[in-house]
């Protein structure tokens, strides 16, 4: 059994890790930390887990994380980088669901996250946990930087186009929409029901932290600098990201076939038949990215539609997928649930 610890268990990625891991046949949940709620049984906060998760929250000090085989950080940005070295030194694998190890250029990271990085050398070592491009590296890693939710949906949508050189890398647009759970379980006015229900808006058009993360990925796929515009929007739904991607076709390629071939062996990317429109609910609760590719009116504009559940393939599910790869388990262990529809 794999001994698992979770740091920061009171947020949505934390409870989602619990929901997925409690039925993982190879996992033994050892600890889940919350300094604020230490002592409270997890099920008092998350009653959906009653009868299934018997842990109580513990302080990080009392959690015995160094005795785990793997620790997930489901914490705000800037926490994991303070604790990772000690865990790695103790032989514990680390999967960070926050952004601490995602961006290789430390200056860029420090600019966007507005703090000094505590361990640039570990950033260099960390493997970006997008299995569809990094499976082999993940297998041998000690430290995984689990991708952001928008970055997962956007990168998987652009990947075949940029790898193949099928589009002009100079003008890429991602119009992305996220459910409100993407903002986390934090007391804030902007994400109150009465503020975000029956409403829709863009936000952070002037600059969002996922922009440099995605750009880094797109440039590695393209092998050159890209021009990339990213506009996130807040959707009045709980779970789900829909990325609508635009690019100019620069080569005469069968795009449907390109996508199907690229993802033929990927268990968690599903290329829909030509003409399809993926719905976010088709992946609700599921570790799956569904993609459709269009070329309206045969023009030179390609439109890619990419959907994920931001808490699953965009966070906790992908983290468990990475854990399965790390520990040489079948990649879909505990990740076989289908989307809940309706």
Applying CB under 8 A, does 260 fall inside the site for a second copy?
A: no
Applying CB under 8 A, does 26 fall inside the site for a second copy?
A: no
Mark residues 192-211: x for contact with a second copy by CB under 8 A, - for none.
xxxxxxxxxxxx-xxx----
Applying CB under 8 A, does 169 fall inside the site for a second copy?
A: no
Which is closer to a second copy, CB of 23 or CB of 114? 23
Interactions with a second copy, residue window 59-98 (CB under 8 A): none
Of the residues 64, 223, 236, 330, which one makes contact with a second copy according to CB under 8 A? 236
Cα distances (angstroms) measured from residue 271 to each of 263, 289, 297, 308, 326: 7, 8, 21, 12, 26
Of the residues 25, 36, 252, 296, which one makes contact with a second copy according to CB under 8 A? 296
Name which of 64, 119, 113, 62 is nearest 92 in CA terms: 64
Applying CB under 8 A, does 341 fall inside the site for a second copy?
A: yes
Cα distances (angstroms) measured from residue 2 to each of 5, 79, 90, 166, 227: 10, 23, 15, 43, 43
Applying CB under 8 A, does 49 fall inside the site for a second copy?
A: yes
Segment contacting a second copy by CB under 8 A, of 60-68, 127-135, 136-144, 172-180: 172-180
| Spatial separation of the C-alpha atoms in residues 289 and 313, rounded to whole Å | 7
Applying CB under 8 A, does 264 fall inside the site for a second copy?
A: no
Are 339 and 163 in contact, with CB atoms under 8 Å apart?
A: no
Which position has the token pair 């750009």?
A: 215
Angle at 233 (CA atoms; ends 263, 291), nearest 5 degrees: 15
Are 133 and 159 in contact, with CB atoms under 8 Å apart?
A: yes
In the complex, what is the shortest distance from the CB of residue 275 to a second copy, in angstroms, rounded to a whole number?
A: 6
In the complex, what is the shortest distance from the CB of residue 125 to a second copy, in angstroms, rounded to a whole number?
A: 30
Q: Dmax of the chain from CA atoms?
A: 61
| Spatial separation of the C-alpha atoms in residues 173 and 284, rounded to whole Å | 25
Phi first, then psi: give them for residue 121, nearest 5 degrees. Answer: -65, -35
Applying CB under 8 A, does 51 fall inside the site for a second copy?
A: yes
Segment contacting a second copy by CB under 8 A, of 76-84, 93-101, 187-195, 320-328: 187-195
Which is closer to a second copy, CB of 40 or CB of 173? 173
In the complex, what is the shortest distance from the CB of residue 321 to a second copy, in angstroms, rounded to a whole number?
A: 16
Applying CB under 8 A, does 177 fall inside the site for a second copy?
A: yes
In the complex, what is the shortest distance from the CB of residue 123 to a second copy, in angstroms, rounded to a whole number?
A: 23
Interactions with a second copy, residue window 91-150 (CB under 8 A): none
Are 319 and 129 in contact, with CB atoms under 8 Å apart?
A: yes
Applying CB under 8 A, does 25 fall inside the site for a second copy?
A: no
Pairing of the two strands 289-294 and 269-271: parallel
Sheet arrangement for strand 2-7: 57-58, 27-33, 2-7, 70-73, 93-96, 143-145, 127-128
Which is closer to a second copy, CB of 66 or CB of 336? 336
Which is closer to a second copy, CB of 189 or CB of 252? 189
Residue 149 known to be catalytic: yes
Which is closer to a second copy, CB of 51 or CB of 140? 51
Applying CB under 8 A, does 262 fall inside the site for a second copy?
A: no
Pairing of the two strands 93-96 and 143-145: parallel
- Which residues are designated catalytic? 149
């Amino acid at each position: 059994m794999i001994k698992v610890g979770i740091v920061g268990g009171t947020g949505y990625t934390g409870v989602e890790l619990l929901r997925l891991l409690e039925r993982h046949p190879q996992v033994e949940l050892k600890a889940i930390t919350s300094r604020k709620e230490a002592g409270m049984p997890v099920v008092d906060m998350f009653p959906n887990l009653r009868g299934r998760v018997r842990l109580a929250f513990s302080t990080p000090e009392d959690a015995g994380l160094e005795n785990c085989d793997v620790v997930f950080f489901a914490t705000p940005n800037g926490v994991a980088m303070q604790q990772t070295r000690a865990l790695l030194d103790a032989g514990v694998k680390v999967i960070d669901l926050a952004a601490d190890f995602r961006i290789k250029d430390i200056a860029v990271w420090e600019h966007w996250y507005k703090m000094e990085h505590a361990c640039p050398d570990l950033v260099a070592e960390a493997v970006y946990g997008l299995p569809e491009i990094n499976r082999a590296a993940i297998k041998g890693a000690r430290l995984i930087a689990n991708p952001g939710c928008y970055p997962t949906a956007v990168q998987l949508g652009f990947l075949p186009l940029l790898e193949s050189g099928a589009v002009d890398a100079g003008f890429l647009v991602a119009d992305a929409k996220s459910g409100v759970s993407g903002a986390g379980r934090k007391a804030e006015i902007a994400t109150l029901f009465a503020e975000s229900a029956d409403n829709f808006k863009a936000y952070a058009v002037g600059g969002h932290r996922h922009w440099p993360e995605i750009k880094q990925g797109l440039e590695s796929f393209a092998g050159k600098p890209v021009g990339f515009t990213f506009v996130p929007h807040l959707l009045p739904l709980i779970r789900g990201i829909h990325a609508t991607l635009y690019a100019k076709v620069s080569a005469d390629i069968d795009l449907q076939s390109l996508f199907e071939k690229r993802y033929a062996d990927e268990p968690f990317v599903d290329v829909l038949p030509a003409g399809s429109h993926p719905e976010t609910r088709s992946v609700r609760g599921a570790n799956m990215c569904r993609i459709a590719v269009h070329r309206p009116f045969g023009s030179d504009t390609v439109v890619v539609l990419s959907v994920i559940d931001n808490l699953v393939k965009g966070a906790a599910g992908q983290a468990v997928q990475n854990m399965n790869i790390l520990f040489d388990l079948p990649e879909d262990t505990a990740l076989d649930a289908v989307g809940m529809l309706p």
